[in-house]
Structure 1
């Protein structure tokens, strides 16, 4: 068994995708910190003003419900690469470590944490991932399993077509630190199990994508990436538009219609994630200013994801900056994008100089405890 791969051996495009994805994660999460107002669909405030309304529609069809399946696909890519150089027990250990990191993140900062969900999926799917290395039949089995799980995920998402009524992260409005922390453990546990069910299909698809080599040589696979981009984004927009219009206050689906709209949004999330991955793959196939800096920051993806929560709590929580009670959607989104940009400008140069992110160091050390490291 070998240890973790060195930074110099990594493919640029997957890391570029992670770096760009961090911006989308910041956008997807920022509105969840808006509290002290009526909350409608998908955690968005009701009765949004004009500019916020337009922004919400754009986010709903391109970002909301699309980002975490994309993140999951990149997690699957990483698991596939890990499986190529390490036995199944290391994959299981990686899952346990991610579950632990997610628990700390969810309990201390953000109960909507997704790392724990990915850890749970990695833990449960480790045998399938390990056995799929070098096997086309096993890869096909992964896709079939992913398809079945996606159907389950879509059915579980019918409730998305109903207004929430309460903030997704109510602890942001908590008046004390004790109240803030007290709400997190049960919320994190429920979120982790539910998110694992929703993102498991994308993790398995990410394993197959890694085995196809599409992201490792995007120049040779531009046609495939273009099909993903056009088809995935097109389907994501069409399936997400009904719920996006509900968020904007244009209509209010009810009953069976609401359930259908919620399911369609979830299905569009899987398609949209593939479309975004196609776009990122195409961006990785050409050179452009800042590409390598963003890709370098992508090697710090877990550290930067966790740091976003630190910033958001500091800015929006009532026990800190308190901006969550008054900020507009535009303001929240701006804070999110600014946080991403600062992260890239800080982490990118450090990564290019050969430094790993703090969270990445911890995860690697715990995953490869006792294993021989590669130079």
Structure 2
């Protein structure tokens, strides 16, 4: 039972839908990431895959996984942030109110005191999110030494920048910024898309890769990609969408919105697939259409909404006792240890595609479908790992490390001075007004 409650406090119920969605999302992440570990993109840019199975898989992956899994990741990240903030503000407000003079004796706090307590709790929540984001950037930098396309650092950067907006729920600002980013994404990618063709056909340098150069290049690419990712990716709009969903019961109680979620699920995946057709044609050897790149990214956000809706429907609402069974339980085990599972994927991919060839001298020449099979096997290994941790009653080691780092790096700010209650409020018994 202790693993069912949220780390933000014992009063918060742990809803199954976000955890189950994270667990399956990590399968999509593995399938989307594995091509980065094998040199298949260069071949795909000039010739179509020879195997029919590879061609079919490329269509499936392009229409339903690529540019779709990371917006889903961002939505779930935003949902988790807002849930943590809401619970932190609620518990912090209670703590500040209980510290007021006379409250323990039964005095009711004044409206001014209640507003003060909530403001102080909001400041604390904002500081928590920013501190957590800074540590995520550090975790991302370490991960980039192995995998240059790390996403933890970018999510941490987003948390640091927008912690105040999220804590104070500036929805209008978030909506305007999201719209600007979507438009900028379309325009910028359309402009730079004309350079992709010439760059894609440049010859490889053939330079020798050493461990030092691999780490240096990985961290450099990661650092350069983070600020660019804020503009030409759907991370920020998707994160804000997840943040907004946390203030509704669409994900917490999907059983109350079955029809709406079914429509969003089928419609989102359908529209997202339509938006990716031109990219799928390109992936299987067809011509590159410049406008299709930005169109596919926007369609990916729609697909992410569809995935989240269907996964929430599958997970269902809270159960008595909080127990899940079958595949839902396995996915939830992974979802509650998403950082551990995500980083473990990189370690396993590195073992298969970097360490194994280096130790044996055997180069792996695999088709798209076989590479996808390796990704599924890696995800299943993370399922086994997280299930073992669940049975032994342990959280994910990287989640524990992050929480410990965030807690120990907290700097106490000066204790704020509460507003002075009126004399009548102090003298009057609790619940009595003059």
Q: Alignment RMSD, CA only? A: 2.9
Q: Which residue of 1 aligns with 2:384?
A: 345
TM-score (norm 2): 0.75
Q: Is the contact between residue 174 and residue 319 of structure 1 (CA under 8 Å) also seen in structure 2?
A: no
Output the CA distance in 1 between the equivalents of 2:261 and 2:328: 18
**Structure 1 segments (4+ residues) deviating >6 Å:** 321-324
- SS at the partner of 2:42? coil
Q: Which residue of 2 aligns with 1:283?
A: 314
How far apart are 1:265 and its partner, in Å? Answer: 0.7
TM-score (norm 1): 0.86
How far apart are 1:46 and its partner, in Å? Answer: 4.0
Q: Which residue of 1 aligns with 2:329?
A: 292
How far apart are 1:212 and its partner, in Å? Answer: 1.1
In structure 2, do the counterparts of structure 1 residues 180 and 6 end up closer, same or farther at CA, with 3 Å as the change threshold? Answer: farther
Partner residue of 2:269 out of 233, 239, 249: 233
In structure 2, do the counterparts of structure 1 residues 291 and 36 end up closer, same or farther at CA, with 3 Å as the change threshold? Answer: closer
1:304 paired to 2:306: no
Output the CA distance in 2 between the equivalents of 1:60 and 1:233: 12
Q: Is the contact between residue 18 and residue 74 of structure 1 (CA under 8 Å) also seen in structure 2?
A: yes
Q: Which residue of 2 aligns with 1:81?
A: 83
Output the CA distance in 2 between the equivalents of 1:39 and 1:192: 27
How far apart are 1:213 and its partner, in Å? Answer: 2.0
The answer to which of 74-83 and 309-318 deviates more is 309-318
Q: Considering only CA atoms, is the larger Rg found in Structure 1 or Structure 2?
A: 2
How far apart are 1:5 and its partner, in Å? Answer: 3.7
Output the CA distance in 2 between the equivalents of 1:233 and 1:10: 27
Q: Is the contact between residue 16 and residue 292 of structure 1 (CA under 8 Å) also seen in structure 2?
A: yes
In structure 2, do the counterparts of structure 1 residues 351 and 46 end up closer, same or farther at CA, with 3 Å as the change threshold? Answer: farther
Task: Tell me the number of residue pairs that the alignment of Structure 1 and Structure 2 aligns.
Answer: 355
Output the CA distance in 2 between the equivalents of 1:323 and 1:217: 51
- SS at the partner of 2:142? helix
- SS at the partner of 2:246? helix
Unpaired segments of 5 or more residues in structure 1?
133-137
The answer to which of 151-160 and 82-91 deviates more is 151-160
Partner residue of 1:354 out of 388, 393, 403: 393
The answer to which of 341-350 and 12-21 deviates more is 341-350
How far apart are 1:345 and its partner, in Å? Answer: 1.8
Q: Which residue of 1 aligns with 2:299?
A: 268
In the TM superposition, what are the counterparts of 1:44-83 in structure 2 within 5 Å?
46-49=47-50, 50-83=52-85
Partner residue of 1:99 out of 115, 137, 143: 137
Partner residue of 2:185 out of 153, 164, 169: 153
